[in-house]
Every structure is written in structure tokens, then in C-alpha cells.
Amino acid sequence: MSATDAAFKGSIPTVYEQYLGPLLFEPFAEDLARRLTDVPQGRILETAAGTGIVTRALAKTLQGQVEITATDLNQAMLDLAQSRLEAPNVRWLQADAQSLPFEDASFDAVVCQFGVMFFPDKLSGYREALRVLKPGGRFLFNVWNSLDLNPVSRVVSETAAKAFPDDPPRFIERVPFGYFDPDRIRGEVQQAGFENVEIDVVDKVSRAPSPREPAVGLCQGTPLRAEIEARAPERLEEITARAVEALSGRFGASSFENRMSALVVTAWR
């Protein structure tokens, strides 16, 4: 991974929340929250909580007796998340998912949305999830499916790459869309100590108000921005405009359907 691959700072959290939250993440957050409705009480840990999109879905969907601890490595993301949700059963804590500050067998479930792809050491993250789970608890996480099955993200990734033919930025395909092999995922989760692992393909459709929203969100609200600015900071707006044009050419200049595909992994302790 590049040093900038997990850099969610500056204006990135705000752009991420505004432009990518409804478009990419909320539909899958609702799916994860629904999968935990059979937890009537106890403690749930969220790792890589980002701006709190899953946290809000959990707080809305689950009963108030469930205590939710939402963690993220990036304090800037947590600051924004905390400003969006005040709930008596939710607490926020900066923490590294690969080295969690919790006792063994502390939680009934661990949930992580589109976060494990950012773990430099995925096995450590999986082992930590196993360690803090109570017997019978589950580790629930999702990852993006192939970039070919997520055409909006693919168009933006290809546009950014074409803008720098001698040194293409590859963040989108390398990190968020670089971990979609179910056999590899199952093998690594089992290697970490989980025996019962289920993987589902989940497809969702959201609606982009226009091509501008995904272009701004992906170019300026993810670490792709750092890759662009490392090459030519003065070209950020130009490349965002190119992404708008490319998306318009593919989907039209007005509102359009954003089709997405992800894998949802459930591993039981």
C-alpha cells in the first residue's frame, strides 16, 4: 500500500460524507445493520467506522439496549461522524483495528464496512476481531466486488489513470477494489482462526443526481485525491471535470442509476 492509501484528512471526510455516503455506502450500511437485528442486547464493535454511516444505520435499526462502540484510525473521520450522531448507546474511540484496546471476549459482534481493504496486515485485523468476540459472536464485514461490477468507480479510476499515462494513480483499483477474491478472503479469515465463514454477493442500486456527485466524491473525497495532488496539485479540478465528462458520456448528463456489487462476509467465533 502507498503511504497515502489511508489518508482521510483535510477536506476529504466532508466530501466523502456528502458525495459518497448516499451514493455508495448507505445502501450497504442498511444491509449490514439488518443482518444484526437478531442482537437484542449486548455490545457491538465497529472498526473503520469512517464518518459513521454504518454507525447511524446500526443506531437506527437496533434496539437501544445494544451498546455500539465505533472506532476508526482517522480522528478527522470520527470527528465528523460524532457531529452527525448523538445517541446514548453510541461511543466513539480512535483505535487501530489491527491492535484493538479492548479485553478478550468483550463484544457480541464486530462489524466493518469497506474497511478491511485498508488494513496493511489483514490477518492481524481478523485475529483482533476474533480475540475481542465472545464465544458464538460474529464478525461481519463487506468488501467491494470486482471493479468491473462497479462501473461508476471504474470510469473514474480509468479517467484518472489516463490523465497521467506515465505514472497512473491506481488507488481505486489497488485498495478499495483490490480485495474481492472470495477464496482468498475465506482462506485468510480461516487462517486467522475463524472456522465458519459465509460469503454472500450483494448487489445494490442507488441514484446519482448527476455525474458531478460521484466525480467529486471519488476524485476529491478519497485518497485518490492525494495521488492526483502528488503528481500535479493544480490539476485536481481539471481531472474532476474530466471524470464528470467521462461519466456523462457513459450514463448521460442527468440523474442515473449507480449499480454496485459487494461481498458480505460473516464469520462466527
**Angle of helix 122-132 relative to helix 182-191, nearest 10 degrees?**
50
Q: Are 145 and 153 in contact (CB under 8 A)?
A: no
| Cell numbers representing residue 11 in the block | 477536506
Work out the burial of residue 124: count CB atoms within 10 Å of its CB; fewer than 13 is exposed, 13-18 middle, 19 or more buried.
Answer: middle
β pairing state of 133-144 and 196-208: unpaired
Number of C-alpha atoms within 13 angstroms, CB side, residue 70? 28
- Dihedral of alpha carbons 194, 174, 257, 52, sign: positive
Can you give 42-67 as a three-state secondary structure string?
A: EEEEECCCCCCHHHHHHHHHCCCCEE
What domains, with CATH codes, occur in the chain?
A: 12-268 (3.40.50.150)
| Cell numbers representing residue 207 in the block | 441514484
Instruction: Quickly count: other Cβ atoms within 10 Å of residue 232's Cβ.
Output: 12
Can you give 195-225 as a three-state secondary structure string?
A: CEEEEEEEEEEEEECCCHHHHHHHHHCCCHH
| Tens of pLDDT, residues 13-67 | 999 999 999 999 999 999 999 999 999 999 999 999 999 999 999 999 998 899 9
- What is the pTM for the complete model shown? 0.95
Contacts of residue 65, defined as CB under 8 A and 6 or more positions apart, other chains included, come to 40, 41, 42, 89
Integer Cα distance of 170 and 167 in angstroms: 9
Encoded amino acid at 78, one letter: L
DSSP 144: E
Q: What is the pLDDT along the chain (269 residues), one digit of tens a residue?
A: 555 545 565 788 999 999 999 999 999 999 999 999 999 999 999 999 999 999 999 999 998 899 999 999 999 999 999 999 999 999 999 999 999 999 999 999 999 999 999 999 999 999 999 999 999 999 999 999 999 999 999 999 999 999 999 999 999 999 999 999 999 999 999 999 999 999 999 999 999 999 999 999 999 999 999 999 999 999 999 999 999 999 999 999 999 999 999 999 999 99
Q: Which residues pair with 261 in a beta bridge?
A: 203
| Cell numbers representing residue 93 in the block | 474511540
| Cell numbers representing residue 187 in the block | 482462506
Integer Cα distance of 256 and 269 in angstroms: 41
